[in-house]
Structure 1
């Protein structure tokens, strides 16, 4: 049985533009317009999931997707850093930022460590792998990164080397615990599209 997973990153928001840890910020006008313009480009799926964040839910809605809000692909819990910019946190807690970026087990913000995030996403991937057909999920970029790290059996440190632009598609297909990764597709161009 082959499982296909299409992850869609959310459209742009003010938090993303400001390099701010997400604080429930909605999509901005540009992000909403771009997501609406891509409506209808997502292929049919047996199931659709949405990360609980505001920008993921708004992106899914703008794309015309009626997804189930799921905890497995929830965004990174950054504890007390939520709503602050990376520059602010770096100025106030430089050792904390250094630890967070260099030690996968560190959680200086009081939230989730990178290792915990990757384990949570790996568990979610295992659940999805048991499902046949296509799954579409609108998820935060860090979920795409964690899933990519898992699919490639890469070290957790590779997480920080993966860029996930807004409103892009990353696809996974696999069976029996082995995933293949499809990269570089704009929303609306899937593996089923030969262009």
Structure 2
């Protein structure tokens, strides 16, 4: 089992004041530095900066190996104790960031890895502290190393770009969060990866009431909260990818509405592709999960574990997988950056394919309404998941 070490820190000159974060990832066996991250945050508190460093470190580790065992080392007793669940989180900004960090930990657990947190003295965290000072000085650093820091680095050091954790930046500038470098060890001639941002649609009344809404069902529209989520997604996507992206949605109305809001923010027009529709659930469409669980418990278990099982008038997981992956291959082959707006089960199919997860385990991945998930695919077929279920924009 691969073992990685994340060292993370953050700081604020004024608390709150000019803030930045830093993080690095080491090979747990050799101590070699595999990746370095830093970025400014505008005016923020010290604790928000520390959490931002933690998230950056977890995201960098996910790009290296999502299934690795990770030890996170920080000199913030507060963050370590809160992430371990021993201390409560009272501040709203910190609760949001802690949730984002926990979602990254959950994605790693679902892929077969683990995360543990260790407090270290500040004197033992000098490298992450230096990177956080680079962030406070206005630098954004995204370095990946093939053979340790003495080798040639893939370096994306640049002045500050706007990001979800840099609220003082101008709204019309793109965040370079998805413009990342190949994973360590990737061949130099593979070029830039294809980047796909998965966006789950906003809330509908069906979602709120726990009613099933598969392909062929009632095709509900966004409710007012879902419409607000769509607008929040549009702003977040604009920050992440800029205007140079195409938008593809499923053919269902809730996805098309969410996609249209995103396309408008990007200055483009969304196209729909029914291959990304939600799974057809036949006679279960429109029923609540409570009804299904009470009346058809064995059949519900079969739907979750047997890829050949289908409801009358619906489709099996195997049928869903075939159509979704056919669409996915077309998106990957198109290159560039694509914003794909759709549904939980089709996105689980995609993530299972990328991560090599079996059908009966991908249910452990959380994909909330309005969430963002980043995937990068290289020319040789290798892929990485940059982040999963990001909801801090909502």
Tell me which residue corresponds to 1:135.
338
Q: Is the Cα–Cα contact under 8 Å of residues 144 and 170 in structure 1 kept in the other structure?
A: no
The Cα of 1:85 is off from its aligned counterpart by 0.9
1: CA distance, partners of 2:351 / 2:336 = 20
Q: Is the Cα–Cα contact under 8 Å of residues 9 and 167 in structure 1 kept in the other structure?
A: yes
TM-score, normalized by length of structure 1? 0.87
Deviation track 1:105-133 (CA, whole Å, cap 9, x = no partner) reads 11134311122222222222222221221
The Cα of 1:90 is off from its aligned counterpart by 2.5
Work out which of the residue numbers 239, 248, 253 in structure 2 matches 1:49: 248
1: CA distance, partners of 2:361 / 2:320 = 14
Deviation track 1:29-70 (CA, whole Å, cap 9, x = no partner) reads 111123224433322244210111111111122333631010
Tell me whether 60-69 or 128-137 shows the greater mean CA deviation: 60-69
Tell me which residue corresponds to 1:177.
381
2: CA distance, partners of 1:159 / 1:92 = 24
In the TM superposition, what are the counterparts of 1:53-132 in structure 2 within 5 Å? 53-63=252-262, 64=264, 66-132=269-335
2: CA distance, partners of 1:38 / 1:134 = 16
What SS class does the counterpart of residue 229 from structure 2 fall into? helix
Tell me which residue corresponds to 2:228.
33
2: CA distance, partners of 1:119 / 1:182 = 24
Question: Is the counterpart of residue 12 in structure 1 residue 203 in structure 2?
Answer: yes
2: CA distance, partners of 1:9 / 1:45 = 20
Change (3 A) 1:151 1:95: same
TM-score, normalized by length of structure 2? 0.45
Tell me which residue corresponds to 1:193.
none
The Cα of 1:18 is off from its aligned counterpart by 1.4
Higher relative contact order at CA 8 Å, sep ≥6: structure 1 or structure 2? 1
What SS class does the counterpart of residue 156 from structure 1 fall into? coil
1: CA distance, partners of 2:361 / 2:285 = 23
Deviation track 1:127-151 (CA, whole Å, cap 9, x = no partner) reads 2221221011111111221110000
What SS class does the counterpart of residue 276 from structure 2 fall into? coil
Work out which of the residue numbers 161, 164, 168 in structure 1 matches 2:364: 161
1: CA distance, partners of 2:381 / 2:353 = 10
Tell me which residue corresponds to 1:192.
none
Report the count of equivalent residues. 188
The Cα of 1:187 is off from its aligned counterpart by 6.9
Tell me whether 64-73 or 38-47 shows the greater mean CA deviation: 38-47
Q: Is the Cα–Cα contact under 8 Å of residues 248 and 259 in structure 2 kept in the other structure?
A: no
2: CA distance, partners of 1:132 / 1:108 = 36
Q: Is the Cα–Cα contact under 8 Å of residues 212 and 285 in structure 2 kept in the other structure?
A: yes
1: CA distance, partners of 2:304 / 2:312 = 12
2: CA distance, partners of 1:162 / 1:114 = 17
C-alpha RMSD of matched pairs (Å): 1.9
2: CA distance, partners of 1:35 / 1:100 = 30
| Greater share of strand | 2
What SS class does the counterpart of residue 368 from structure 2 fall into? coil
Q: Is the Cα–Cα contact under 8 Å of residues 284 and 311 in structure 2 kept in the other structure?
A: no
2: CA distance, partners of 1:147 / 1:91 = 30
